[in-house]
Amino acid sequence: MTYKVEEIDNKRIVHLDGEIDMEVADKARNTILPLIEAGHEVHLNLSKVEYMDSSGISILIESKKLSEQKNTKFELVDISKPVEKVIAMAKKFL
């Protein structure tokens, strides 16, 4: 997984690329959560994510919960088809 963070005012757009699985979950978590912790609005661009497992879903849930605690916005944008399928499956169980 690679990433790029784009800054626009108080908004941070995090572009993730590749696979989000258990092996890189901490890297993704350590990229996204500090931005939310700092009070930034975070938009997560998943258009180039080819694969996401349950550890990726866990990061999305953690990010959403933290953004609610910090009273800021966390949003998924440009979601790839493989990630869309995983999110749809996860919604069935949540």
What does the pLDDT average to over 1-17? Answer: 96
pTM reported for the whole predicted model:
0.91
pLDDT, tens only, 46-56: 999 999 999 99
What's CA 21's distance to the chain center, in Å?
Answer: 12
Of 60, 48, 51, 50, which is closest to residue 91 (Cα–Cα)? 60
- Check residue 18 and give left, alpha or beta (phi > 0: left; psi -120 to 50: alpha): left
Report the percentage of the chain scoring pLDDT > 70: 99
What does the pLDDT average to over 71-89? Answer: 95
Of 32, 38, 44, 31, which is closest to residue 10 (Cα–Cα)? 38
The two tokens of residue 7 are 């800054």
Sketch out the chain's domains with CATH numbers. 2-93 (3.30.750.24)
Q: What is the pLDDT of residue 1?
A: 92
Q: What is the pLDDT of residue 94?
A: 64
Find where tokens 């999305």 sit: 60
